[in-house]
């Protein structure tokens, strides 16, 4: 059994975003790049599954579409415990092109379980996982909060509006994971960091870029009106304001 975790490379979640070039480009000055939080949890879960020998997982691989500037992010995933990595060498932000490159790079690698996050915290797309599954012709389950194995078959919990479903899908499959998949992201230990230096990153050159969408500009949210304070001793006044001014009830 082989697991693949697709990782995207995003600004740290506390970053104050700014744009340059007439609001067309993110100002990357001073940005700390991290593994997308969902992907970090997906990787953690993949490694937990591998830790249990009964699951028979041979390798956990990470894949990333991006330029060499993301190599530190990939090394971090290797330090956390992934066995090897694939990077498709191309710069693109269009989900369709990312997914098609990923599919081309892994089509012949026979992964049994592919984990993607529910969204990247940069473009908030929620699309690459499903697209990848469609390009590969694999089934997919979206909104996965738990993956375990039962006799070699993934047992999955899918979150739906107002509840959950417990289901099985025979591999190969793509699981698009969300809250619950792992508790805390696994952190790289010193030994892992040393070992990561020698783990292989296979670089694949991309065959053309096929983008279906383009970001033509960004805008920052309009500043909200200043907060209106109600004195703590007259807290009840708040209800009157919400009723008469905000008209929320």
Partner 1 sequence: MSVLVFLENWDGKFKKLSFELISYAAKVAEMLDDKAVVLSIGKVDSSELEKLAAFGASKIISIENDLLKTLDDQAYAGIIAEVAGRSNAKVLILANNNTGKALAPRLSVRLRAGIASGVSKLPLSTDPFTVYKKVYSGKAFAHVTIKTGIKILTLAQNSFDLVESPQSFVLEKMDLQPEAGLMKTNVKDVQKQTGKILISDADIVVSGGRGMKSPENWGPLVELAQLLGAATACSRPVSDEGWRSHDEHTGQTGKIIAPNLYIAIGISGATQHLAGISSSKFIVAINTDKDAPVFEAAQYGIIGDAAKILPKLVEAVKEMKSK
Ligand X SMILES: Nc1ncnc2c1ncn2[C@@H]1O[C@H](COP(=O)(O)O)[C@@H](O)[C@H]1O
Ligand Y SMILES: Cc1cc2nc3c(=O)[nH]c(=O)nc-3n(C[C@H](O)[C@H](O)[C@H](O)COP(=O)(O)OP(=O)(O)OC[C@H]3O[C@@H](n4cnc5c(N)ncnc54)[C@H](O)[C@@H]3O)c2cc1C
Q: Which residues are near ligand X by CB under 6 A?
A: 6-8, 36, 38-39, 63-66, 95, 98, 102, 116-117, 119-120, 123, 125-129
203 closest CA partner among 79, 99, 100, 89: 89
Is the Cβ of residue 106 or residue 169 nearer to ligand X in the bound state? 106
84 closest CA partner among 3, 187, 182, 9: 3
**CA–CA gap between residue 81 and residue 94 (Å, rounded):** 29
**CA–CA gap between residue 111 and residue 154 (Å, rounded):** 13
Minimum distance from residue 13 beta carbon to ligand Y (Å): 5
Question: Is 113 within 8 Å of 3 (Cβ atoms)?
Answer: yes
What number of chain residues touch partner 1 (CB under 8 A)?
Answer: 81
> What's the sign of the alpha-carbon dihedral 12, 17, 20, 23?
positive
How many C-beta atoms lie closer than 10 Å to residue 123's C-beta?
A: 17
Binding residue for partner 1 (CB under 8 A) from 96, 101, 111, 114? 96
Is the Cβ of residue 68 or residue 240 nearer to partner 1 in the bound state? 240
- 165-184 residues in contact with partner 1 (CB under 8 A) are 165-170, 173, 176, 178-180
Question: Is 7 within 8 Å of 35 (Cβ atoms)?
Answer: yes
Is the Cβ of residue 53 or residue 226 nearer to partner 1 in the bound state? 226
195 closest CA partner among 104, 83, 100: 83
Is the Cβ of residue 37 or residue 130 nearer to ligand Y in the bound state? 37
Tell the residue number behind the tokens 């078959």, with chain if given: 153
Taking CB under 8 A as the binding criterion, the range among 27-35, 55-63, 82-90, 115-123 that sits at the site for partner 1 is 115-123
Angle, nearest 10°, between helix axes 71-80 and 37-51?
30
Minimum distance from residue 182 beta carbon to ligand Y (Å): 12
- 185-224 residues in contact with partner 1 (CB under 8 A) are 211-221, 224
**Which partner from the list ligand Y, ligand X, partner 1, none does 64 bind, CB cut-off 5 to 8 Å by kind?**
ligand X
Q: Is 11 in the site for ligand Y (CB under 6 A)?
A: no
Minimum distance from residue 67 beta carbon to ligand X (Å): 10
- Give 181's contacts (C-beta < 8 A, 6+ positions apart): 38, 41, 42, 44, 45, 144, 145, 146, 147
Q: Is 37 in the site for ligand Y (CB under 6 A)?
A: yes
Q: Is 13 in the site for ligand Y (CB under 6 A)?
A: yes
Minimum distance from residue 185 beta carbon to ligand Y (Å): 8
- 136-165 residues in contact with partner 1 (CB under 8 A) are 139-143, 158-165
Interface residue list for ligand Y (CB under 6 A)? 13, 37
């Amino acid at each position: 059994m082989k697991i693949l975790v697709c990782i995207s490379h995003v600004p740290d979640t506390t970053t104050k975003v700014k744009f340059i070039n007439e609001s067309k480009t993110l100002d990357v000055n001073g940005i700390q790049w991290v593994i997308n939080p969902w992907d970090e949890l997906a990787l953690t879960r993949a490694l937990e599954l591998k830790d249990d020998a009964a699951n028979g997982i041979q390798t956990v691989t990470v894949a990333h579409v991006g330029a060499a500037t993301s190599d530190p992010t990939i090394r971090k995933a290797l330090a956390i415990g992934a066995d090897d990595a694939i990077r498709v060498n191309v710069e693109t932000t269009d989900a369709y092109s990312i997914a098609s490159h990923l599919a081309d790079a892994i089509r012949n690698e026979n992964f049994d379980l592919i984990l993607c996050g529910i969204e990247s915290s940069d473009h908030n797309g929620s699309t690459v996982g499903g697209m990848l599954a469609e390009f590969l012709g694999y089934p997919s389950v979206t909104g996965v909060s738990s993956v375990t194995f039962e006799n070699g078959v993934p047992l999955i919990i899918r979150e739906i509006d107002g509840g959950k479903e417990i289901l099985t899908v025979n591999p190969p499959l793509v699981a698009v994971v969300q809250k619950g998949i792992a508790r805390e992201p696994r952190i790289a230990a010193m030994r892992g960091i040393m070992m990561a230096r020698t783990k292989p990153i296979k670089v694949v050159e991309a065959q053309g870029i096929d983008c279906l969408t383009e970001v033509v500009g960004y805008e920052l949210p309009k500043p909200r009106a200043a907060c209106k304070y109600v004195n703590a001793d007259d807290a009840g006044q708040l209800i009157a304001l919400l009723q008469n001014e905000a008209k929320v009830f």
